[in-house]
Amino acid sequence: MESEPILVVENIKKAFGPRVILKGVSMAIRRGELKVLIGPSGAGKSTFLQCINFLVTPDAGEIRLEGRPIHHSRKRELYAYRQQVGMIFQDFNLFDHLTALDNVMIGLVRVKGMDRKSARERAMAEIERVGLKEHAGHYPAQLSGGQKQRISIARALAMDPKVMLLDEPTSALDPELIGEVLAVIRDLVANGMTMVMATHQIGFSRAMANEIIFMEDGLIVEQGPPSVILSDARCERTKEFCSKITELYGEAS
């Protein structure tokens, strides 16, 4: 039961100029787990997630995937590592000049060196998985926000990641579109994907997360199972924050 963690993040520190954003953040996640990051805006959640795949270079700390430390200064090793860590952004970041299908295919062709025919088949399979088969030929500007986010999830899944990082995947969406994206993520959890997700969807987190991590000011204030963090937190700040987002984002998921 207590298997080795697949991803270990140890004591990550990051400052932008004089401003210290992360003051030593650690996390270990086991295969198939979902960890939810919550915390006020500016707490450093995005920076932390981007440090995990070195989109932001941490000043200190270590990251190990399946026990192997990652040397981010070795370009090849870095690119190979990033293929194994999928990332979903708040504002989707689909490639604007490519159709949905090409968005999902491009990594397979350019990074994995797959031939176009197999890449197309794989990409279509992922697009079907997120329920957007009919939209494969559409460009991002022709898709709704929810559809864009689902395509971006398909794009990440096509690379066969071992871990996925999701940075507020539903925050840029109109309320009526949040459900379709959460449904896809729920499906990933059911299929055993390992994920770290920053979100304020409290109902979803309560139902799906193995652990909720409350971050503030570049530090983890408290972490634990949703039942504890959301209803019975030890720390006053955690309680305060949780009641605020519960009020704001409701119990519905």
Among 75, 117, 134, 176, binds another protein (CB under 8 A): 75
Residue with tokens 């009020």: 247
Q: Rounded distance, CA 180 to CA 93, Å?
A: 18
Rg (CA), the chain: 18
The answer to whether residues 163 and 86 touch, using CB atoms and an 8 Å cutoff, is yes
Sequence-distant (≥ 6) Cβ neighbours of residue 13 within 8 angstroms:
20, 22, 23, 24, 25, 58, 59, 60, 61
Q: Under the criterion CB under 6 A, does residue 46 sit at the interface with ligand ADP?
A: yes
- Does 170 engage in binding with Mg ion (CB under 5 A)? no
Indicate which single residue of 141, 190, 192, 236 sits in contact with another protein (rule: CB under 8 A). Answer: 141
Among 46, 50, 149, 201, binds Mg ion (CB under 5 A): 46
Contact residue for ligand ADP among 21, 132, 181, 208 (CB under 6 A): 21
Name which of 130, 235, 127 is nearest 186 in CA terms: 130
Binding partner of 80, given another protein, Mg ion, ligand ADP, none, CB within 5-8 angstroms per partner class: another protein
C-beta of residue 13 within 8 angstroms of C-beta of residue 24: yes
Q: Does 44 bind ligand ADP (CB under 6 A)?
A: yes
110 interface partner picked from Mg ion, ligand ADP, another protein, none, CB below 5 to 8 A per type: another protein
Q: Is residue 41 a contact residue for ligand ADP (CB under 6 A)? A: yes
Q: Angle at CA 169, nearest 5°, toward 168 and 172?
A: 85
169 binding ligand ADP? (CB under 6 A):
no
Long-range contacts of 120-127 (CB under 8 A, 24+ apart): 122/158, 123/154, 123/158, 126/154, 126/155, 126/157, 126/158, 127/100, 127/101, 127/151, 127/154
Closest contact distance (angstroms) between CB of 88 and another protein is 9
What mask of x and - would describe binding to another protein in positions 156 to 195, judged by CB under 8 A?
x--x------------------------------------
Residues that bind another protein (CB under 8 A): 50, 53, 55, 75, 79-80, 82-83, 85-87, 89, 91-97, 106-107, 110-111, 138-142, 152, 155-156, 159
Residues that bind Mg ion (CB under 5 A): 46
